[in-house]
Structure 1
Amino acid sequence: MPANKKYLTPSPWQRFAKITAAIFGGLIVAILFHLALASWFNHAAVIITSTFSAFILWAVLMVVAFLGKNGWRVWGIYLLASLVLFVIFYFGNQV
């Protein structure tokens, strides 16, 4: 049974934005989240834990990217989250 046309994204640019946000944006947010944790807590414990939790977080962020109506808005949210996590990582690394 084919998908209902009203649920499909009509624009190829929106489809491109959702796919790239899911793959690259989700990966960036997942990695920066664990880097921010590692800069504030025990490095070894966070790195060992991140082998599984980074993949799970990335998969969740991929699903979230496809749930949004606008792919460019998802990219904006992921870039803003990446910026916040980078600032946390940067100031945590100073200690």
Structure 2
Amino acid sequence: MPANKKYLTPSTSQRFAKISAAILGGLIVSVMFHMALAAWFDHVTVIITSTFSAFILWAILMVVAFLGKNGWKIWSIYLLASLVFFVIFYFGNQTNPLV
């Protein structure tokens, strides 16, 4: 039984944006989140925990990317979240440098 046409994305650019945001954007946000955590907390514990939690977070972000109406808006949200996590990571490394 084929999918109902009204639920499918008609635009090729929107389809590309959603797929790339789900795969790449979700991965970038997931990795940057765990890097930000590792900068402020015990980095060994965060890295060990991230082997499981990063995959779970990535899977959740993949689902969220396909729930949105506009793929480019999802990309902008993911890039903004990555930038925020990068700033947290940067200041965490400045405050707590690894020796």
TM-score range, shorter chain: over 0.9
RMSD between superposed Cα atoms in Å:
0.4
Q: Percent identity?
A: 81
Q: Name the counterpart of 1:5.
A: 5
Unpaired segments ≥5 residues, structure 1: none
Q: CA deviation at 1:88?
A: 0.3
Runs of 4+ in 1 over 4 A off after TM superposition: none
Aligned-partner SS, 2:87: helix
Q: CA deviation at 1:37?
A: 0.1
Unpaired segments ≥5 residues, structure 2: none
Equivalent pairs, count: 95
Q: Name the counterpart of 1:27.
A: 27
Q: Deviations over 1:40-67 (max 9, x none)?
A: 0001100000000000000000000000
TM-score, with structure 2 as normaliser: 0.95
Q: CA deviation at 1:4?
A: 0.5
Q: CA deviation at 1:12?
A: 0.4
Structure 1: distance between partners of 2:16 and 2:47 = 32
